[in-house]
Amino acid sequence: MPMVLLKCDKDIPEREKHIYLKAPNEDTREFLPIANAATIPGTLSERGCAFCGAKLVIGGVLKDTIQMIHGPLGCAYDTWHTKRYPTDNDHFNMKYVWSTDMKESHIVFGGEKRLEQSIHEAFDEMPGIKRMIVYTTCPTALIGDDIRAVVRKVMNERPDVDIFTVECPGFAGVSQSKGHHVLNIGWINDKVATMEKEITSEYTMNFIGDFNIQGDTQLLQTYWDRLGIQVIAHFTGNGTYDDLRCMQQAQLNVVNCARSSGYIANELKKRYGIPRLDIDSWGFNYMAEGIRKICAFFGIEEKGEALIAEEYARWKPKLDWYKARLKGKKMAIWTGGPRLWHWTKSVEDDLGVQVVAMSSKFGHEEDFEKVIARGQEGTYYIDDGNELEFFEILELVKPDVIFTGPRVGELIKKLHIPYVNGHAYHNGPYMGFEGFVNLARDMYNAVHNPIRHLAAIDIRDENPAELPEKIREAA
């Protein structure tokens, strides 16, 4: 089957290169959607901006760092609190938002003084916080504010603080993916190996590309604690600024999200000789495999097997309860990129769920190589899907549940199709063994909840001719 031109795309035929329907005996040598390319004018893209990729996804997760956004208020507000990544220090990162609040006069006369004043104000207001990331945004990049010069001046005046700069305005790339890239490369260039921490175990690793969504990092940390592995740095779930300056000390880089964070793992391998081990942290089978590999690297296989056995004994019966009730259900995944290939086989193997359509906002062609290799035949693989395409695909595949974000989620609710928050989760964490039971529970609740069928009833009609069984259940 060649690439697909949907009916709704008849006026933007370029979209055909971004949508693939997998057929038997095909592989990515023949058909690979174009990805990480500029959004085609005329589509209703669901993408975010490059600045958002740096701040919302990676930098803003840190639990001890002021996120100073040099731009108008909206850039700060709209990248704050839309992802749930708690921390074990009372959620410092979720409670506060900082902005230089640029107005017209600052754009006309320059915003560097405004930035300098804002940095000082923030540190003065929060004397316990000594770390900051300063981000440029579209307007401050366009007027040429030299944020590095300002930061150097402040750091000279305040020797107890350390500040990292991210020069990645929203227009810098085709999607949020560019922001991931800029922050990764900037951090390794500017901050890695500027500090050393105490080594407390003979086994050390960095855990890269996990952002503690609803506690993912904290759940996985219980495994590493039980295995006696010291995590030098979490990039960046529940992480600290200074731990990330010590990444060069780890013996192994374990990578979950290769899209947002593969860059720093590659550079750590190139510059410091630290091997990169990619794993999947969602799903029983995958999680067990990841733990086995990490333990084999350190020569502690028996500890790993004991942990897996304990976790399976505790959680597998619960997973199987949901599996019996989810088997054969059809699922669509409309998220950022990597969750397509992390999830497609794990829900199939662990829950018996069939993934029938997947769309990626910011995945690269590498992500499509992975997901097409793992995904099923008869499934749609879409790059940068737009709203009309979603509607058409829904008609074609008729999923029972969609894992996506609240924006698309609210849209499909109106079609009476349940959605589960695939970005920030409904009731996570979703990683690890316990986490995948949570995912299964949320999927079960979504698929089998009869209440949503009530939305299809016209309550003005006193005598509806016939109530479908589901609606009677709900009523």
Q: Please check whether residue 429 is in contact with residue 216, taking contact to mean a CB–CB distance below 8 angstroms.
A: yes
Least distance CB 263 / another protein (angstroms): 5
For residue 276, the one-letter residue type is R
Task: Name which position in 131, 234, 276, 323 contacts another protein (CB under 8 A).
Answer: 276
Only one of the segments 153-161, 264-272, 452-460, 461-469 lies at the binding site for another protein (rule: CB under 8 A); that segment is: 264-272
Rounded Cα distance, 288 and 301, in Å: 12
Those residues with Cβ within 8 angstroms of residue 438's Cβ, 6 or more apart along the chain or in another chain: 425, 427, 428, 429, 430
Q: Determine, following the binding rule CB under 8 A, whether residue 320 of this chain makes contact with another protein.
A: no
Task: Name which position in 2, 13, 27, 309 contacts another protein (CB under 8 A).
Answer: 27
Tokens of 300: 């502690």
Q: Determine, following the binding rule CB under 8 A, whether residue 302 of this chain makes contact with another protein.
A: no
* 322-361 positions binding another protein, by CB under 8 A: 345
Q: Determine, following the binding rule CB under 8 A, whether residue 280 of this chain makes contact with another protein.
A: yes
Those residues with Cβ within 8 angstroms of residue 372's Cβ, 6 or more apart along the chain or in another chain: 20, 22, 27, 28, 31, 32, 381
Rounded Cα distance, 96 and 129, in Å: 12
Q: Determine, following the binding rule CB under 8 A, whether residue 101 of this chain makes contact with another protein.
A: no
Q: Determine, following the binding rule CB under 8 A, whether residue 312 of this chain makes contact with another protein.
A: no
Using CB under 8 A, count the residues that bind another protein.
Answer: 36
Residue 236 preceded by cis peptide, ω within 30: yes
Residue closer to another protein, measured from CB, 271 or 407: 271
Q: What is the DSSP string of 205-274?
A: EEEEEE--GGGHHHHHHHHHHHHT-EEEEEEETT--HHHHTTGGG-SEEEES-HHHHHHHHHHHHHHH--
Q: Determine, following the binding rule CB under 8 A, whether residue 369 of this chain makes contact with another protein.
A: yes
Q: Determine, following the binding rule CB under 8 A, whether residue 262 of this chain makes contact with another protein.
A: yes
Q: Determine, following the binding rule CB under 8 A, whether residue 305 of this chain makes contact with another protein.
A: no
Q: Determine, following the binding rule CB under 8 A, whether residue 29 of this chain makes contact with another protein.
A: yes
Q: Determine, following the binding rule CB under 8 A, whether residue 391 of this chain makes contact with another protein.
A: no
Residue 429 preceded by cis peptide, ω within 30: yes
Q: Determine, following the binding rule CB under 8 A, whether residue 279 of this chain makes contact with another protein.
A: yes
Those residues with Cβ within 8 angstroms of residue 103's Cβ, 6 or more apart along the chain or in another chain: 72
Least distance CB 30 / another protein (angstroms): 9
- Residues binding another protein (CB under 8 A): 27-29, 32, 36, 185, 251-252, 258, 262-263, 266-267, 270, 273-280, 289, 292-294, 296-297, 345, 364-366, 369-370, 373-374
